[in-house]
A and B are shown apart, each in its own frame.
Chain A
Amino acid sequence: MAQVIVVTSGKGGVGKTTSSAAFATGLAQRGKKTVVIDFDVGLRNLDLIMGVERRVVFDIVNVIQGEAKLNQALIRDKRVDGLSILPASQTRDKDALTREGVQGIIEELSKEFDYILCDSPAGIEKGALLALYFADAAVVVTNPEVSSVRDSDRILGVLQSKSKRAEEGKEPVKQHLLLTRYDPARVERGEMLKLDDVLEILAIPLLGVIPESESVLKASNSGNPVILDSDSPAGQAYADAVARFLGEEKPHRFIEAEKKKGFFGRLFGGRAA
């Protein structure tokens, strides 16, 4: 039975799709059969971030409406074994998604995959509600910024009241915080909310901190999920987060500002990557 994970945030532009692409790729790299579904019907973008935009033939709405079989709509990744992408429709509106349709797709995918990642659209309307409805676990993507933290809190409330698990009175959806675009230097200067502040306010377990990193833009430019850039801090931070999700103990990195090097450090230390 596959585990369903929703990647959500409430607010737009905080890194849901970047995180979904990285997380799905990371799970597949670790040998887990993983499918990542774009729920942003009308504004699909996961295909671009995954670099498969030229290969999209059918989408989730075609499958729901019986115009294509699920395995015809799945795009198999050419870089990582066991990774598939189910694109959103670009031309239909979000009412084309139905709960019954999504349920059918998730049930069918459960037979083949270990993990089903649902990349939620922003907001708390139909697409976002359907993306989280069937979730067993949630990765709440948050920026250290007031509006993002508030919207994350809002989406946590929705998870606790409107998910299938909540409606059926089952064990609640397991919540994980993924703090993205974190800049320890700005935190140190008192310009940005601290990790501890965000944790105190949202009060859910921390899955990982992704530092603000140039590699994220480079990754989206080229359509390679940033986790494939294993030299970059963001890529490493995502790999750590995936490991933690799978139960490994990993100390948190990239949460302290890099110390200014002393004379000898500058002389012999080289430049930190």
Chain B
Amino acid sequence: MATQKDPLGTVIWVNGPVVRADTTQQAHMMEMVFVGKERLIGEVIRLRGAEAVIQVYEDTTGLKAGMPVFGTGAPLSVELGPGLVSTIYDGLQRPLARFIERSGPWIDRGGHFPALDRTRRWRFSPTAPVATMVKGGTILGTVQETLLITHRIMVPPRLEGRLSWLAPEGEYTVDEPIARLHTRSGEITVTMSSRWPVRMARPVRRRLRPSRPLLTGQRIIDALFPLAKGGTAMIPGGFGTGKTVMQHQLAKWSDADLIVYIGCGERGNEMTNVLREFPHLEDPKSGHPLMERTILVANTSNMPVAAREASIYTGLTLAEYYRDMGLDVAVMADSTSRWAEALREIAGRLEEMPAEEGFPAYLGTRLAEFYERAGLVQTLSGEQGSLSIIGAVSPPGGDLSEPVTQQTRRFVRCFWALDRELASARHFPAIQPVDSYSEYAQDLITWWIDQEPDWARFREQVVDLLRRDRRLQQLVKLVGEEALPDEQKLALHGARLWREAFLQQSAFEAVDRYTTTRKQLAMMRVLHHWYHQASELIKRHIPFYRLAELPVNERIMRMKLIPNEEVDTILQLIPTITAEMDALARSMQV
């Protein structure tokens, strides 16, 4: 990054990550600057007269008044090009591996590393016809970035002109020219890498209405609260309710082409876990290691606060870049609350007037800007791409009425509320099945009915049972289960069966952690059949306790452990249910 030789000004005031500088040259809002002798990375966030307020993305200990501040003339931006996938970056897109080379296992400040490897050569295959008009988004050629990602080299947005030269098939570094454009403002050389400011959404041709599910292999999500490709979801939950395990599950098993996982202000060991685990896990679609389709952005809780704020935008911009290639990209942000807290801390140090709980009044605006970068789109090159965002929220004390949860709810369409009581009973995923919702369920119904004409009936049954269960549980608390009529006992039992046999899913059992759509549908069919048949029997006054004793019940409980490939074994439970219930009915009539 180009730095101006003369300083922009000098430091006059230091308070944690917030620094004020007295400027002698013009600075620009959101301009990236370097502060002090160690050239700490910062960003101009306020200008008044000669005073510039800078948020510094690194630890400011040791910074003195009088030290220089250098401008760069450009906003905080990320570098885009082949080599991003499988890399782990910090919140400012510095590869964490480079820090190890520089300072060993601990992160030292003042590191300036390029995001992409300057020496690595990539095999470029040209695809665009020379001498035609091209513009932002036009695909010039491809690079096989990893086994799973075919990287499309695009004309950067906003450029337009005649393609006068395109490099022949061959190996190039990210700095070597691969194309030349004859534009109105002259001849422009294009390389495989480009830059984009993180706080600005990348342009698309138009936005489309989400219509395909992002299949996650997680039964409670796919069946009850589905997310669409290009959709937004939030996972609020107190500590220990399983937010991170769930984010990991989604990162592992979602049928997206690329995952950007942002660890924002969370535990170091969690990122380490991803790093150790993903290379050994296989993508269910292709069988290749998951790392081949993953980018990690890690700004753990003990890394500088301001960089936490930047990490979210860094991750989003990387995701948008791959979406522009026509891929389905999913972003997991864990946790957006830490990002909001970083906003609060900076606002506090600027002595801004706080709104709720000390958060700045613009919290809602920032959250809206963030989630609105999701969507199913037609890219500049005319293809379909999608960007889905799943944000974890960590409400203080598990209280969902706090500002970050409430503000986020306004801008997302899936609400997967995690429940402490379910988590305490080790019922995972601890998604509260009555309070949670997905506004995509309606949009996706046609897709599901194409897979299984009875789908709507299955779903209706489970939703209805769970709702009745909640009401009946109130009653049970007063009079005990024994006092209820058989019909209500059956409803309670049916809800329990759905919950334990279907909704509950282990993230750690090899068979159970990922369920194919076919297996999910088979399981739903079995449960639907059981309850439907059982209701008939209750209507014929067969006592409930005899139904509860049927041997098939335990096999239904354990059907989740039948491998995805053996769907027929699951479906065989249906004739077994019919047979056992018929036998029971016959025996009672005698």
Chain A partners chain B:
no
